[in-house]
Amino acid sequence: SQGRPIYIQLIGKVDVPKIMAATTEERLFKFHVQEYERCVRVIMPICSRLAGKNIDQTFGIMDVKGEA
């Protein structure tokens, strides 16, 4: 991934009804925005320093299979 942070999503294992019972769609959206902002503000600068070059992208792996 050439110094980029790796973001792994295990979407197939998410219990959507359980999550939605505990929060709202708006709070879930805000959480994802905050995580992206944290990545830009904290994680990418650390990766840039460690890689010795500017890192401004992430590498995403999305597993939609879940439990089979």
Other C-beta atoms closer than 10 Å to the C-beta of 55 total 20
Residue 60: phi, psi to the nearest 5?
Answer: -105, 140
What pLDDT is attached to residue 44? 93
Q: What is the DSSP letter of 9?
A: E
User: 10-41 pLDDT, tens per residue?
Assistant: 888 889 899 999 999 999 999 999 999 999 99
Long-range contacts of 43-47 (CB under 8 A, 24+ apart): 43/5, 44/5, 47/3, 47/4, 47/5
The Cα–Cα gap between 63 and 51 comes to 27
8 A C-beta contact, residue 64 and residue 13: no
